Structure 1
Amino acid sequence: MFDSNLTQLRHKARDLHQRRLIVVSGSVAWCRERAVEIFATSTGETLWIGDEARHGIATLGAARSRKVLGREVDTLVFDAHCGFDPDAFGATLGAVRGGGLAVLLTPPVVTWPTFNDPQNRRITVAGYDPATLSARYITRLLRVLRADPHLWWLQEGEPIPPLPSGALETLPQPAEHVAHAPCRTTDQARAVEAILHTATGHRHRPAVLIADRGRGKSAALGIAAAHLLHERDCYIVVTAPRRDAVEPVFALARSLAASETPHGGGLLEFVPPDELVRHPPAADLVMVDEAAGIPAPLLAQMLVHFPRIVFATTVHGYEGTGRGFALRFQRLLDRETPGWRALQLKTPIRWSPNDPVEALAFRALLMDARAAPEEAIADADPDGCPIDFIDRDQLISDEPLLCELFGLLVNAHYRTTPLDLRHLLDGPNLDIAVQRHQGHVVATALMAREGGFDAATARAIWSGRRRPQGHLLAQSLAAYLGIEEGPQLIGARILRIAVHPAVQRRGFGTALIAHLTATSQAQGLDYLGSSFGATAELMRFWAACGCRPIRIGHRREASSGQHSVLVFHPLSQRGQRIDAQARERYRRNLQVGLNSSFADLEPELLTLLLEETVPTSGDTLDTHDWHDLVAFAFALRGYESAQAAIERFTPFALTQASADGQIADDVRALLIFKIIQRHDWPETAAQFGFAGRRECVERLRAALRPLLLRHGDDSVRDLIEQLSN
């Protein structure tokens, strides 16, 4: 019966060009025997995802699952006995072509929730045993699998079941008329047309392609590239988070180029995102694939620098979610290139529409989660929305609430991946706070408790011998700021905060942090803090919440493209003592790195960071300093002879003027670049387009004059008047 059912299932899948899922539950040996039997019936490429290689079968560990992106297989086995990695499961399912089978091997159904899953180590924090983590994620996953009418479930010790009726039904297929080869769908043809229009039409009108897996997004890039290289002599640059992610683009372009006689010429080349921004080539067109996996600051620089550029990303991706990317990136596109065009590729190519495995993957991994409808929360007000902590045992039984919550996190953080859902449900030290309006989630924050280590462990962290997972703030106090007592304090770290786009800038985020601060203080915690990629907007938000910076990373993070910053709000006397030490070390570290590690910080951001480190007045300047400043700004004194006074005066004057909104962006940028970050004269001239040192000096004199008039006392103003006559 097993063989006949399997044969019938394969035939049905091939006839419909759809995929089917088989779940095999039981002991390791029994499950793997059944999987080998299924593999034996495959006539195409096969792939086994697990830690143990099977004889004669291509095997890949779950940690390397991204290598299958762009690849197609006929039969896939995913061995959950080696751990259920949601990212890997979603990525590898997408590699199964229409007509193929996916096989999920699991522990026995009754014991899977209590199985010591190796993946638990990824979400466990120091102080917790991975074996004792909750099973909420697997419990929900089992519920979703059981409810699916299309999968065939084999269980050790049970008779071979008949094929479910859903696995054999013929789902309606929409008619699809393709405009022309080599495009395989109308969606893909439109995408190629949009790319060509971006390459040859008006400048600064980028195209943004968004698609789910299997829709031919990358192929559209390859087809367009081949067409352009065939017709003209041009230089096309392709970039993506990883080179192997865009191999299909190059493979298709090479294939099409080999089948045609070129009229033009040119070059199709891969350039990593950071290199593309650091040394921009003279490209005729830039193609950015899997854009949601590239830090937003790099995307912004690409958009500004390259007049002809195409962005493509996956809606439900494993580098990041294209939906969140589109929502957040749209603001920049509207501001910088209002003529941009968005296209969504909906029709699948790798399998037929209404594919049951795709629908199951969306439900199981919550990849189709949506935030609350805008019309349901349009009139929400922070004062009328209570803040509650969610019981996660109840959360997995409330699917609409879970979908709205996770959908909101996806929208707010476009690097969200399926693994984040497992952390949301099973993270051991996690609390979830939500604000709801008429039952709908309008804002949420995830908070983790950290610290509480003994003195010996704190010493080990301070000395660099221990790095306890999941205790970022506690560890940073000792390992980076040298405060040995820091890990002994108990604090709360805000991991994520998200406010629905429809109600942003109404005070929801500030109210949420205020509530968490009061709750943490009432619980006797020593501090509340957070870590994030530093931007001027975020620094202002956290400052309004009472959290001030205590550390900024020396390098830009690959995940955000920004320098990470730690902010800290003391809640106890111990916390206040640690805060004073941390802020002093922050001041010293920032000053030391201004012309090295932090020489590339954006002027507005650096101004906000400096506010915490500079005097609030010019009392530190003596009479000679003021005279040197006046002689430089209002006379002809050389820069170097007044440099000491200039460097003491500028930080406090600049932060005061910025806080009051009384300084132009270009003036602030010049003062920071030359005086605070200490770039040399050729660098300054090149950065601002000045003719040379002489123009740099004159611009600095002009920038300092209004600041001196504002902050100097009567004697300073008298001296200025004398020199002006």
Structure 2
Amino acid sequence: MEAVAEGLAREALESGERRLLLISCEDRLGALAEVARVYRRVAGEGVSALYSNVWAGEEVLGSRRLESQIPRDVRLTSLDFDRSEEAMGGTWDILLTDFSVQMRANDIGRLVETVRGGGLVVMAIPPVEEWLRTLTDFQRRLASPPYRESDVRAEFKKRFLRTVKGAEGARFVDLESGDVTGAPRVVQRRKRQPPNVDDPLLGLALTPEQVQVVEAIDRLSRAPNKAALVVVANRGRGKSAALGLGIAHLMGRRGVRGVAVTAPAVSGVQTLFRFVSRGLEALGIRGRAVVKEGKTVAVTVKGRSAFYLTPMSLVESNVKVKVVDEAAGIPTHLLFKVLGSSRLAIFSSTIHGYEGAGRGFSRRFMARLETTSGVLVEKVEMRTPIRYPEGDPVERWLYDFLLLDAEPGDPPEGATPEVGEYVRVDLSASDEEFLKKFYGIYVLAHYRNRPNDLATLLDAPHHSARALLIEGEPVVSVQICEEGRLTRRYVEGILKRTENPPGHMIPSRLLAHYGHKGFPKLWGWRIVRIATHPALQRRGLGTRVLREIVREAREAGVDWVGAGFGVSEELLRFWVRAGFLPVHISPQRNPVSGEYSVFVVLPLSRQAEDMVREIVGEFKRRLIDSLHDVYFDLSPRVARMLLSPRWGKARPRLRFSQKLRLKDYLRGYNTYEMVSDAVWEIARAYFLSPPDERPLTEEEEVALLARSLQGRGWGMVAGLLKVKKVVEVMDILRGAVKKLVVLYGEKEITEV
């Protein structure tokens, strides 16, 4: 192995590219230490190494032994896998990992990208057959009851081995058999020319694209009207650093007093804040970093500051310069609220990388942004890697292995629901081209994909895939998760908070919120993802697949089919039109997306139908009684759809005084404020059990919901209905109440 390691080290250092070494053996720490010694001998002094493994009580497993076996002048950093996110922004010469106990795709995506050009990515595993037979901690979490650990697949590990053996710039060494796989890759070293700029701040930029970002920020900050900058890049292109330098320029040279920054998590803006500080220092200004719980949350200087806010808080902030890093992780409607509330909005997104979803986001967001009137829009695409040269073979392997740049195929002509073939997909038997097209539909859809999602789909026994094929090409991709069939032990444990079986999202949520012990014992299919080829959307293909899933589930004896999602009017309409019944809404909005989570269920068996009818009734009562409080800010149009299923035969219970006041209200003598209690009673009965032929228009239902059940002011309701005068809302509401009085046969009220 020493010769292989030395050859790889020389290849890497001479080419400036990275190299990958996978070692299979019993003594994994010894093998990792040997590679570190060889690399130090070839590279000389000043070598840095990152070692990652699981935490073992007092240390990262094996870190002390490893440190004792490598040269003392190798600067070793040990980081357990659970903290792999902290490695982002750091750079090392060698990455050393042991995947015997834990192997998570997310960790691989993060850690591999921390190695600089000329460095080595070194991974160790037990003897291959033993490794494939045993489960990592991640795989054990995939054994969702009633499935057992023996049911968990090893397809992700097999994919790992297969892609490493077939990758350029990689070697696989099996120390048990003595086999070595892989061939030398000889390329000329390419010298990088740093940007030729005579500016202390821009001198920190390592690529021309970083300079372009700072110059674009400066240019748009001086625009006479509202402006937006969109920065897109692959991982490792210095995007966050460039944003940090741009913010430092605004604070240090343009006198901007406040810049608000957000990302899906505060950990995602640490590099940005570090370069705000470095940029200010380059301008001769000493900034002060504000640190909370080990994370920088602001950089301040002389009454000016760049500071972190959650996405929802950013929308509400009155700061005029706002920056959204990793914008793909935040719903588009929030991004446009950011745009609307700022003078300069800067959005960045990773196109490919472990964050996922960036490419689909970039296409959709830019298309809509460019049609927004009154906004000057610029886009900068960053292509040059910071740590290693373009064409680096380890980056190519990582993207292939984790399908980070998977793309759907060309859309077939004449794609209609009728010509599609619905199939169950065996991803372990699918060729690489099909897998990339299937998964590429997710990548370009609205889903945020993480590498762990791929590992779950490949290995979890309760997860399976479906597709709609046209001319053999996948045009709709589906991921299904089996839920339910829980034993009494798990049901009682969930209620007592002593059990938390993985998966079972819908049964456990309904059990916790409604106490229905029978539902978790039923067998259900939760549709985790359903996505249509972006060029073929709104043609009924997704609806066709949904029908096929329901048919297949019914034939298999499944009790219910369901789904969970961040609710929007469009998404909820898709599920409700397909016959699915809303059964739960989260009590809080997601702090990143700003969305409420909703679960919908379609009962298939008689048993499930009886239970779901009971749950829907309780859900509707709870939602109606909470609209004025917990769900005051819920869109009335969304609330209207959540309350649309018919349940029971509710009728208003009006007292004599209420009927008397309602009569004068309908005659125009009383104001709404004098009858609000009576209107609430009528509205509650109507939305608890809407008739099959609804007498109210959508506009009237929205007015009734917003004004009566939520208690919104007249001006707010007028804005929702897009009417100019409050009196118009009053007339709409009075007309709606009159129709409902007639509906419920209150003759003494209607007789004038």
What TM bracket, shorter-length normalisation?
0.7 to 0.9
Partner of 2:550: 517
User: Residue 257 of structure 1: CA displacement?
Assistant: 1.7
Would the alpha carbon gap of residues 233 and 423 (structure 1) be closer, same or farther in structure 2, given more than 3 Å must change?
same
Partner of 1:139: 158
Question: Which residues of 2 match residues 407-426 of structure 1 at below 5 A?
Answer: 407-426=440-459
Which of 114, 119, 127 is residue 146 of structure 2 equivalent to? 127
Partner of 2:309: 272
Partner of 1:237: 260
Partner of 1:46: 49
Question: Which residues of 2 match residues 122-271 of structure 1 at below 5 A?
Answer: 122-157=141-176, 164-166=183-185, 168-170=186-188, 181-182=202-203, 183-234=205-256, 235-261=258-284, 267-271=304-308
Would the alpha carbon gap of residues 697 and 342 (structure 1) be closer, same or farther in structure 2, given more than 3 Å must change?
closer
Would the alpha carbon gap of residues 380 and 697 (structure 1) be closer, same or farther in structure 2, given more than 3 Å must change?
closer
Would the alpha carbon gap of residues 275 and 382 (structure 1) be closer, same or farther in structure 2, given more than 3 Å must change?
closer
- Residues 394-449 of structure 1 show CA distances to partners (whole Å, capped at 9, x for unaligned) of 12xx1111001111112224421111111111111122110111121100221122
CA distance in 2, matches of 1:105, 1:53: 13
Query: Comparing 38-47 with 613-622, which one deviates more in the overlay?
Result: 613-622
Does structure 1 residue 352 correspond to structure 2 residue 403?
no
User: Residue 519 of structure 1: CA displacement?
Assistant: 1.0
TM-score w.r.t. length of structure 2? 0.85
Query: Comparing 533-542 with 328-337, which one deviates more in the overlay?
Result: 328-337
SS of the residue corresponding to residue 429 of structure 2 reads helix
- Residues 586-622 of structure 1 show CA distances to partners (whole Å, capped at 9, x for unaligned) of 1222123212221221121112112236889987668
Does structure 1 residue 302 correspond to structure 2 residue 338?
yes
SS of the residue corresponding to residue 554 of structure 1 reads coil
> Cα RMSD (Å) of the superposition?
3.5
Partner of 1:25: 24
Contact 2:259 2:319 in 1 (8 A): yes
Contact 1:96 1:102 in 2 (8 A): yes
Contact 1:404 1:441 in 2 (8 A): yes
Partner of 1:388: 423
SS of the residue corresponding to residue 108 of structure 2 reads helix
SS of the residue corresponding to residue 587 of structure 2 reads strand
User: Residue 30 of structure 1: CA displacement?
Assistant: 4.1
- Residues 320-352 of structure 1 show CA distances to partners (whole Å, capped at 9, x for unaligned) of 331132244346535656753333211212211
Query: Comparing 623-632 with 359-368, which one deviates more in the overlay?
Result: 623-632
Does structure 1 residue 379 correspond to structure 2 residue 414?
yes
Partner of 1:706: 735
Partner of 2:58: none
User: Residue 123 of structure 1: CA displacement?
Assistant: 2.8
User: Residue 687 of structure 1: CA displacement?
Assistant: 9.0
Partner of 1:117: 136
User: Residue 131 of structure 1: CA displacement?
Assistant: 4.8
User: Residue 141 of structure 1: CA displacement?
Assistant: 1.7
Which of 121, 126, 140 is residue 107 of structure 1 equivalent to? 126
Partner of 2:297: none
CA distance in 2, matches of 1:258, 1:720: 76
CA distance in 2, matches of 1:89, 1:293: 20
SS of the residue corresponding to residue 58 of structure 1 reads strand
User: Residue 710 of structure 1: CA displacement?
Assistant: 4.7
CA distance in 2, matches of 1:277, 1:252: 21
| Aligned amino acid, residue 619 of structure 2 | Y
Would the alpha carbon gap of residues 333 and 22 (structure 1) be closer, same or farther in structure 2, given more than 3 Å must change?
same
Aligned length: 706
CA distance in 2, matches of 1:197, 1:689: 35
- Residues 429-483 of structure 1 show CA distances to partners (whole Å, capped at 9, x for unaligned) of 1221101111211002211222223345434434544332211222233222211
Partner of 2:71: none
Which of 531, 547, 557 is residue 590 of structure 2 equivalent to? 557
CA distance in 1, matches of 2:701, 2:303: 42
CA distance in 2, matches of 1:244, 1:187: 24
| Aligned amino acid, residue 163 of structure 2 | V
Q: Percent identity?
A: 27
- Residues 99-125 of structure 1 show CA distances to partners (whole Å, capped at 9, x for unaligned) of 222111122234332232222034331
Contact 2:491 2:520 in 1 (8 A): yes
Which of 354, 357, 361 is residue 325 of structure 1 equivalent to? 361
User: Residue 273 of structure 1: CA displacement?
Assistant: 2.0
- Residues 677-715 of structure 1 show CA distances to partners (whole Å, capped at 9, x for unaligned) of 235x6xx7689799xxxx998565334133245555499
- Residues 140-159 of structure 1 show CA distances to partners (whole Å, capped at 9, x for unaligned) of 22111111131133332455
SS of the residue corresponding to residue 433 of structure 1 reads strand
Contact 1:321 1:410 in 2 (8 A): yes
| Aligned amino acid, residue 702 of structure 1 | D
User: Residue 89 of structure 1: CA displacement?
Assistant: 0.6
- Residues 288-307 of structure 1 show CA distances to partners (whole Å, capped at 9, x for unaligned) of 11222334454343233223
Contact 1:179 1:185 in 2 (8 A): no
- Residues 459-510 of structure 1 show CA distances to partners (whole Å, capped at 9, x for unaligned) of 4434544332211222233222211111221121111111111111111111
Partner of 1:428: 461
Would the alpha carbon gap of residues 717 and 399 (structure 1) be closer, same or farther in structure 2, given more than 3 Å must change?
same
CA distance in 2, matches of 1:437, 1:661: 42
Query: Comparing 621-630 with 198-207, which one deviates more in the overlay?
Result: 621-630
Partner of 1:574: 607
Does structure 1 residue 342 correspond to structure 2 residue 379?
yes
TM-score w.r.t. length of structure 1? 0.88
| Aligned amino acid, residue 526 of structure 1 | D
Query: Comparing 335-344 with 67-76, which one deviates more in the overlay?
Result: 335-344
User: Residue 15 of structure 1: CA displacement?
Assistant: 4.0
Would the alpha carbon gap of residues 127 and 620 (structure 1) be closer, same or farther in structure 2, given more than 3 Å must change?
same
SS of the residue corresponding to residue 206 of structure 1 reads strand
SS of the residue corresponding to residue 621 of structure 2 reads helix
CA distance in 2, matches of 1:602, 1:196: 38
| Aligned amino acid, residue 554 of structure 1 | P
SS of the residue corresponding to residue 524 of structure 2 reads strand
- Residues 556-596 of structure 1 show CA distances to partners (whole Å, capped at 9, x for unaligned) of 23464322111111111111111111111112221232122
Does structure 1 residue 446 correspond to structure 2 residue 479?
yes
Does structure 1 residue 365 correspond to structure 2 residue 364?
no
Partner of 2:109: 90
**Which blocks of at least 5 consecutive residues in structure 1 are unaligned?**
none
Would the alpha carbon gap of residues 272 and 386 (structure 1) be closer, same or farther in structure 2, given more than 3 Å must change?
same
CA distance in 1, matches of 2:529, 2:573: 16
Question: Which residues of 2 match residues 70-85 of structure 1 at below 5 A?
Answer: 70-85=89-104
| Aligned amino acid, residue 416 of structure 1 | N
SS of the residue corresponding to residue 94 of structure 1 reads helix
Would the alpha carbon gap of residues 297 and 614 (structure 1) be closer, same or farther in structure 2, given more than 3 Å must change?
farther
Partner of 1:287: 323
